[in-house]
Copies of this chain bind each other. A is one copy, B any other.
Amino acid sequence: MTNAPHASIAVLVVDDHPLLRDGLAAMLASQPDMRLVGEATDGEQAVKLFASLRPDVVLMDLQLPRMDGVEAITRIRAQDPRARIIVLTTYTGDVRAVRALHAGAAAYLLKDMLRRELIDTIRAVYAGRRLPVPGVIAESIAAHVVDDALSPREIDVLRHAGAGLSNKLIGGRMGISEQTVKAHMKSIMAKLGARDRTHAVTTALSRGILALETLPLADPGTRARD
């Protein structure tokens, strides 16, 4: 099917930062056996472009507007289970990386990584290998993932807490009682080793369980300002 003209690897880049895309484009241009076939700026676009372009390898950021990277990976893999996706993230202890790998990503790289490693990884992934993770990252994942693993429900509760909602309001918004929200909060704090809800949120942020952008922040209806 995607029999490339002369064995060149067709790469789709998904990232919301134009400059970073340029960086990746420049890197790909310097490699004779790679070519950039498309760029997407959010998850939805990534899914669509994958369908039309059928690239050999996808480089995807996890932090995306409109549709989360993990979600995009899931959908792309649903389209084509052989899709080869390399995940790029900024933070070291990012738990989403693990979710991305579960969702079918072939490898996981940090953005502040050397070009060589990225290039090597692209070739390795194209060759069919999975997870040629350069050690350091594997460890950093392992070190963090052991004990967090918040349930989806807990993450939801915590996201709302980060937005400054009270347990009662969270319960109202999620359709459960205030007491239940409290129970979730207890479990969250125990898992994260946090002292209170505020600490739980900052801990989750620093571990990549939550992202500032995904918080229901700046919701106009409840602006305190008044």
In chain A between 187 and 226, which residues have their CB closer than 8 angstroms to a CB of chain B?
Answer: 189-190, 193-203, 205-206, 212, 215, 217, 222-226
Query: How far apart sit A202 and B197, CA to CA, in the bound complex (Å)?
Result: 12
Known: A26-B23, A202-B217. A195 touches B18 (CB 8 A): no
A22: chain B residues at CB < 8 Å are 22-24, 26-27, 115
Q: Pick 22 A–B contacts, CB within 8 A, sort by A.
A: A16-B112, A17-B20, A17-B23, A18-B111, A18-B113, A18-B114, A22-B27, A23-B25, A25-B26, A162-B199, A163-B199, A164-B194, A164-B196, A164-B198, A164-B199, A166-B196, A193-B223, A194-B224, A197-B198, A201-B201, A202-B205, A206-B212
Instruction: State the copy count for this chain.
Output: 2
Contact check, A21 vs B18: say whether CB atoms are below 8 A apart.
no
Query: In the complex, what residue of chain B is closest to A210 when comparing beta carbons?
Result: B202
Contact check, B195 vs A198: say whether CB atoms are below 8 A apart.
no
In chain A between 112 and 141, which residues have their CB closer than 8 angstroms to a CB of chain B?
Answer: 112-115, 118
Query: How far apart sit A19 and B215, CA to CA, in the bound complex (Å)?
Result: 27
Which of B17, B193, B201 touches A225 (beta carbons < 8 Å)? B193
CB distance from A16 to the nearest CB of B (A): 6
Known: A20-B19, A26-B22, A206-B212. A195 touches B165 (CB 8 A): yes
Contact check, B23 vs A202: say whether CB atoms are below 8 A apart.
no
Contact check, B202 vs A215: say whether CB atoms are below 8 A apart.
yes
